[in-house]
Structure 1
Amino acid sequence: MDELAGLTEEQRTKLLQTRRRVIESIGKNMDLYGITLSIGHLYGNMYFNQEPVTLDEMSQTMGMSKTSMSTGMRTLHDLKMINKVWGKGSRKDLYEVVPDWHQNFADFFSIKWRKAVEQNMNVLARSLKEIDGYIESSAEEAEYVKVLESDKAKIEDALKYYRWLDKLIDSFESGDIYKFLPKEE
């Protein structure tokens, strides 16, 4: 925290109190989306760093074990919220926050949604195939076929939703979403 070196004790205290409030808010927000509170706090702490940091530095800052810190950094890196960067004269990995909150949101949800869409579409497609087989083998059983046809229509509606969601994910990944909802400048 070199940037705080020239501040008075009162200035430092006020600034750190404000930062802690923001960091806590970031942690709680990320917790809502399935990221642990501690990883949210890690991101929040890194957000205020002026320079890239090592695992050891963040571990010391947050009072977390190096193993927990490594897991948190890996999670944030996998979500594209932090980058590994090169530091002259340093043999340790350095990390910095990707400060574009719009891109962080787009990447986070694209990763999560894409996985869910693929899983659910596979299950629905497999279920449709099974239902078609049941319909074919039960042609004489009108009541059963009627229920199967109803289920088939519901699954086809669900597939329409997932195809739409897939297009939404594409718009996040390509940046086209910002044509419809521009970023505030």
Structure 2
Amino acid sequence: MDGNEALQQARARVIEAISQNMNLYGVTPSIGRLYCLLFFSDKPLTLDEMKEELGMSKASMSLAVRSLLDLNMVEKAWRKGVRKDLYVVKDDSFQRFFDLFMKKWRPAVSMNTKAIEKTIAELEELDENEAASDEDRERAKTDISKLQNWLVYYDWLDRLIDTFESKEILDFVPMEKKEKD
């Protein structure tokens, strides 16, 4: 096997692994292959160049690039004399993870917290309602207790998200592995 074949085989292994795990970002393996194409490219690429390399339709390629832009995984680049949009990998893996984590979890925490707080308020009204049966009031109290535990969890998760946003998480888990003494 010559050097070029070895290089292509090594890259293919990474491309396959990355593309198969792109579901973690909520996108398809073909978008993962596009990301890897840009990652391994020596220069910014146009949609036409990416389409030709991957054999995807122009519409699919455009959608894939938009998905990667939304995930903050690629960015537009500029090159003198080139009129078409060019794209390159925005290779800040840590920030990409932080952005994804915050983008996925912050809205979920907010939505769940609001629903739980509203439900607790309604259950408290039921508990205070003398027309409700003892059994219903008792179930309401049990549900309130369970839901309050969830509020503790969502408060913790919200504070964890804050540490990603402020990068304080790096004080506890640094980017570089510390040497053992």
TM-score, scaled relative to structure 2 = 0.88
Question: What is aligned with 1:86?
Answer: 78
Q: Which ranges of structure 2 fall in alignment gaps of 5 or more residues?
A: none
- Does residue 150 (structure 1) correspond to residue 142 (structure 2)? The answer is yes
Note closer, same or farther for the CA distance 1:21–1:140 as it changes in structure 2 (3 Å cut). closer
Q: Which ranges of structure 1 fall in alignment gaps of 5 or more residues?
A: 1-8
Question: What is aligned with 2:8?
Answer: 16
Distance in 1 between the 2:155 and 2:77 partners? Answer: 37
Question: What is aligned with 1:61?
Answer: 53
Runs of 4+ in structure 1 off by over 6 angstroms are none
- Does residue 120 (structure 1) correspond to residue 115 (structure 2)? The answer is no
Q: Which amino acid aligns with 1:81?
A: M
Moved more, 116-125 or 102-111: 116-125
Post-superposition shift, 1:181? 0.2
Question: What is aligned with 1:43?
Answer: 35
Identity of aligned residues (%): 46
Post-superposition shift, 1:178? 0.7
Q: Could you say what the CA RMSD is over the residues aligned between the two structures, in angstroms? A: 1.9
- Does residue 27 (structure 1) correspond to residue 19 (structure 2)? The answer is yes
TM-score, scaled relative to structure 1 = 0.86
Question: What is aligned with 1:163?
Answer: 155
Instruction: Tell whether the 8 Å contact from 1:79 to 1:111 is kept in structure 2 after alignment.
Output: no
Post-superposition shift, 1:137? 2.3
Question: What is aligned with 1:98?
Answer: 90
Distance in 2 between the 1:123 and 1:87 partners? Answer: 49
Question: What is aligned with 2:169?
Answer: 177
